[in-house]
Structure 1
């Protein structure tokens, strides 16, 4: 089987919402198992996200759940 070449795209679809399945602490930070629902109608099941302690510092939080929000592009609260 040949290796696939990376494809460059200008933009993708937005994340609609996600469910945290499991958070495991690692030496470098956290490994998070997620189910992600995309605005396109597709979903990503059992997706692994790695967040380092350095990432959390960059997001100015110590809470891994907040780091996940920022990593997935949820930066603010929309009031309704």
Structure 2
């Protein structure tokens, strides 16, 4: 539980090293995806729930939920 209700600004965070999609379901508003995430700091996040709307999928120009999760987490192709 948070010690304060005041928002906290952090200058840096830990990068995501890898992620695994455990489960995904589609509904009328979009996808609900269950993830395990490995952070660069050495910590793991398990059973993280992410919601991606159908509008998000259109914006990412993909129908592949794995690609959409990559984009949502900030994994972009850097080659041109």
In 2, the alpha carbon distance for the partners of 1:41 and 1:65 equals 23
State TM-score, norm by structure 1: 0.85
- 2:63 maps to which residue? 62
Structure 1 unaligned residues grouped into runs of 5+:
none
User: What is the root-mean-square deviation of aligned Cα atoms in Å?
Assistant: 2.0
Q: CA deviation at 1:19?
A: 0.9
**Runs of 4 or more off by more than 6 Å in structure 1?**
none
Q: How many residues align?
A: 78
Q: What SS does the aligned partner of 2:55 have?
A: helix
Asked if residue 72 in structure 1 is aligned to residue 49 in structure 2, the reply is no
Q: What SS does the aligned partner of 1:56 have?
A: helix
- 1:53 maps to which residue? 54
State TM-score, norm by structure 2: 0.85
Q: What SS does the aligned partner of 2:24 have?
A: strand
